[in-house]
Amino acid sequence: ANNNNVDSLMYLSTSSFNNMDVYLRKQKRGNLSVMMVTGAWIEALHIATQVVKETPSKEVSERVGEQQITLNNIMLILDIYKADPFFADIIVDFQNLKKELDKVSITYVYKAPESKEINGQLVIVDNSTTEVKISDQNIKDITAAVSKLREKLTR
């Protein structure tokens, strides 16, 4: 019923995931929730790297490079489960991916926000930007690390 409404699909997906996450945590199976988030992120990154490989795009390349921020958060979560042999093993591969993503330069450029009235409501517009510098070699190395990690997780 909501095929044409992206906002509704996003809400339903997020709501479903949150319900599942709460259930798994109550069952003391938070590690499964972490693996699902991690797996979904790796799959999305894999798709993005394959898109860039087949059809080079500066915009998609920059989105790949921005994933170093997300990976830092994932590494913090994975560290909670490092005593588990499965997690300890894949953390090494995530560290290898992190080494490649850390070679990407991300610079935040602050520009003062401004206030605008839109449809009768006051809206604060953030004019700051983020500059991502990622080379073709960075993309190749990130793609290789993601593929290796994905292969390990899908065995």
80 within 8 A of 37, measured Cβ to Cβ: no
Could you give the 3-state DSSP secondary structure of residue 111? coil
Strands (E), the chain: 105-109, 114-118, 121-125, 129-133
| Separation of alpha carbons 38 and 77, rounded Å | 9
Mean pLDDT of the 36-51 span = 92
Q: Give the pLDDT band (50/70/90) at residue 139.
A: very high
pTM of the entire predicted model:
0.78
* pLDDT tens digit sequence for 45-77: 999 999 999 999 999 999 999 999 999 999 999
